[in-house]
Chains A and B, each alone.
Chain A
Amino acid sequence: MMAGERVDVLVIGSGAAGAAVTKRLADLGAKVVCLEQGDWMKPENYPSTKPDYEIALRRGPFHFSPNVRRRPEDYPVVERGKNPPDVLMFNAVGGSTIHYTAHFPRLHPSDFGARTLDGVAEDWPISYHDLEPYYDMNDREMGVAGLAGDPANPPRSPRPTPPLPIGVLGETIGRGFDKLGWYWWVSDNAIISRNYQGRPACDLHGKCMFGCPIGAKASTDVSYWPKALRKGAILKTRARVREITLDARGRVDGALYYDPQGRLFKQAARVVVLCANGIGTPRLLLNSKSRLFPNGLANSSGLVGRNFMIHPFRFLEGVFEKKMYGWEGPFGIPAFSEQFYETDLKRGFVRGYSFLLERSFGPLHQAWGGFVNKPVPWGAEHHRVMRQRFGHIVRVTVLGEDLPEESNRIELDPEVKDSNGIPAPRVIYSYSENSLKILDHGARMGRQALEAAGAIDILDSGIIQPAFHLMGTARMGKDPRKSVVNAWHQSHDVKNLFLVDGSSFTTSGAVNPTCTIGALALRCADGIWERRREWS
């Protein structure tokens, strides 16, 4: 085994959290090394550069699921439970920001106090207002397009760049919401509408989830990493961490990792920050067993891997007579509504959901069934139905809050391993009754909105396999019996170990999480820096 020089901070994972924490600590003066099991992506290889880009939805090295993609740097995810999730993630510099939509909403203040306000789940140990300056900082680092002034959210600072075009699609569905007297707003997206920090403005090509080769979409390989590297941070790619190691005092002292040739190395560090996503983080903690921590590192609560949350989704596609050109313009999310975000028990469920008002992919995805999995019929009706649907659809997506439940969890699979022999994660998940009620209500209200906007037909996905946003598996909290890390993401058990990514979420809220993950990571970095005298 080969050992590297001991550094101040070792960061594991280079995605939304790892990039932010590395850059912030490098700015502050720490010597930081980041280990990433994936590699730099080559923009020229992105499917978005190719006419047959939609095939990546079915197969090939850019598929969103590691179980299909099977790059050497991927690890298998075993999917189980009553509603086994179809786990989507990416392993590369930039992590899953490589393929995310870049929708960049913030949690609501009420998300941080679900127990206090609604008597469910647990309160976060921090408030929205603790996080607000870091939301702003993250927005500036990533580059965001949007508009301040949404009355369904707290006031926020002017957005770094103006809103992206919402097109006829956004204006049409917006009018539907106006007719019903419902709130809606143009989205914040981490896709720049003007040249920004050396990156070009979005050119509206519309295939953002298939990789943005010009760098207008803020995946962290183009936003944080160039700046972090200029500040002296070191990024080691194709470095797959096997376990986090301990010194004789029971503090973490680094990590063991494999290079692509299977050689084992040790990276020593005074502080370790784990940012491997809501599945990768608990997996690594559970794989880091020792005499001191026989149930996995930082797991005295037994909650590592527990309370796995993944947002429940339901898609509605409204078909309009007028052409909507859904394939044009940044995929992102043109507009959204939080009309049903806050709890109203008269609806029959607690907490709430967002509506994402969205675009479409190209003709092949439409023929295959679009987002609602309703294939265009074959035979005599084919061209008529295709002509009616393709380009004429406005999508209303229901994104519900998922409440934490211990039975939804990440474990180590006793049999399946990755190519280095490291046990793979097994994800066990079932929808709660509350989630199903949220999706049902959302589908009924979404239908109303589409009808008000003039849809002539509405296609409904029904209940689908959960897939997006991995959260809650090493959650924040004040009470060490009910949480894994404290308000600064510091492990309750091991003081120089920090965990920050989707796993930190105490509750899921009902918005895409990447914006919050970045803000939490920046705040975590400041906490580490403030405690630098405590580093060993």
Chain B
Amino acid sequence: MKKWTRRKFMEAGLAGSVIAGSGMMNRLPKREAMAAKADRSTAGELTAEEWKALSSVMDEIIPADDGMPAASEVGGVEYLQRLCLSLPGLNDDLKQSLTEADGISHSHFGKSFLALTKSERIQTLVEMEKMKPKLFATLRDYTYEAYYTQPRVWKLMDYTFYPTNESGPKMKPFDESVLAEVRRKPRFYREVE
């Protein structure tokens, strides 16, 4: 009997995932990330220097602007550090992303990512997005996750999370008058005689 292994799951799920993507479930990045992980040995924990670089990358993905804080200012790096402890493979994804970014920065600017100017960092990430779109999407999406799960950010966006053990939002009851025009219409379905 073939066991229901992680690999088999991925094969089952990956087959034909060339579709433009079900936006509903956002499946492509996840699957690609899983597939990438399966073929890679653990690259080791991120070093302090790498976390610093990651912080810098995250702040280019979500910069401080327009009254909103940057990713690192709301604990984005700490979020990913915690997530790495519970999500097998994330560490490898992050490490690979940073290696890629650093490789591009060296080849284009002759220095490490952390030594780049802001404009050079952006150019490096634009290049990485072109060259390694799936890897970049993984990095981008985890940065978004680290940011948009922070209540401090929600407050600034006028977003209210309603826990289901508390009262929900107040909404205007349904007003039947909005259907007045449709009600005047004739029957609009077919019967089978």
Contacts and interface: CB of A to CB of B under 8 A. Distances in A.
Nearest to A373: B23
Nearest to B58: A378
Interface stretch (B46-54, B91-99, B182-190): B182-190
Interface string A47-70: 011011011011100001101101
B189 A363 contact: no
B95 to A, nearest CB: 19
Contacts of B169: 204-206, 325, 328-329
B13 interface: yes
B41 interface: no
A99 B182 CA distance: 31
B85 interface: no
A260 interface: no
A462 B24 CA distance: 12
B157 A79 contact: no
Contacts of A94: none
Contacts of A68: 9, 13, 30
A324 to B, nearest CB: 12
A325 B159 CA distance: 9
A323 B147 CA distance: 22
Contacts of B172: 165, 167
A297 to B, nearest CB: 22
B148 A362 contact: yes
B62 A315 contact: no
Contacts of B148: 54, 362-364, 367
Contacts of A373: 20-23, 26
Interface string B30-73: 10000000000000000000000000000011110111100000
Nearest to B34: A68
Given A79-B16, A165-B174, A373-B21, A416 B189 contact: no
Q: For the complex, would chain B's binding face be called helix, strand, loop or mixed by DSSP majority? A: loop
Nearest to A78: B12
Q: Please classify how large the interface on chain A is, using the bins under 10, 10 to 19, 20 to 34, 35 or more.
A: 35 or more
A29 interface: no
Contact of B30 (A59, A162, A170, A367): A59
Contact of A154 (B164, B168, B189): B189
Interface in B147-193: 147-149, 151, 153-154, 157-165, 167-169, 171-176, 178-179, 181-183, 185-192
Interface in B98-155: 122, 125, 137, 140-141, 143-145, 147-149, 151, 153-154
B44 to A, nearest CB: 23
B81 to A, nearest CB: 16
A46 B165 CA distance: 12
Contacts of A64: 25
Interface string B2-13: 111000110111
A383 interface: yes
A323 B13 CA distance: 37
Contacts of A67: 9, 12-13
Contacts of B163: 49, 51, 205
Interface in A349-371: 362-365, 367-371
Contacts of A462: 20
B16 A81 contact: yes
Given A55-B145, A364-B149, A373-B21, A204 B178 contact: no
Contacts of A70: 9
Most buried by B among A315, A368, A371, A391: A368
A379 B63 contact: yes
Interface string A130-171: 000000000000000001011111100000001111110011
B177 to A, nearest CB: 10
Q: Which of B16, B17, B122, B125 has the largest number of chain A CB atoms within 10 A?
A: B16
Interface residues of B, number: 76
A183 B191 contact: no
Given A57-B25, A362-B161, A416-B8, A204 B185 contact: no
A390 interface: yes
Nearest to B141: A368
Contact of B2 (A83, A185, A382, A416): A416
A383 B65 contact: yes
A369 B191 contact: no
B168 A206 contact: yes
A120 interface: no
Given A328-B169, A328-B171, A109 B191 contact: yes
A329 B171 contact: yes
Interface in A422-445: 424
Contacts of A222: none
A229 interface: no
Given A83-B16, A184-B182, A382-B65, A363 B21 contact: no
Contact of B190 (A342, A363, A368): A342
A58 to B, nearest CB: 5
A364 B146 CA distance: 9
Interface in A172-197: 174-175, 177-178, 183-186
A241 B94 CA distance: 42
Nearest to A386: B157
A178 B181 contact: yes
A243 to B, nearest CB: 16
Contact of A83 (B19, B182, B190): B19
Given A80-B16, A380-B65, A464-B21, A419 B4 contact: yes
A378 B145 CA distance: 13
A375 to B, nearest CB: 7
29 contacts: A48-B164, A58-B26, A64-B25, A67-B12, A75-B4, A76-B8, A79-B15, A80-B16, A109-B189, A147-B176, A165-B171, A175-B178, A186-B174, A203-B167, A204-B162, A204-B169, A205-B169, A323-B158, A364-B149, A367-B148, A382-B65, A383-B67, A384-B66, A387-B157, A416-B2, A418-B4, A421-B1, A465-B19, A465-B27
Given A58-B30, A379-B125, 12 more contacts: A55-B145, A76-B12, A79-B15, A109-B191, A154-B189, A162-B174, A185-B179, A205-B168, A362-B148, A375-B141, A380-B63, A383-B66
- Nearest first, the 7 closest Cβ-Cβ pairs linking A and B are A373-B23, A113-B192, A84-B16, A204-B168, A165-B171, A203-B168, A364-B148
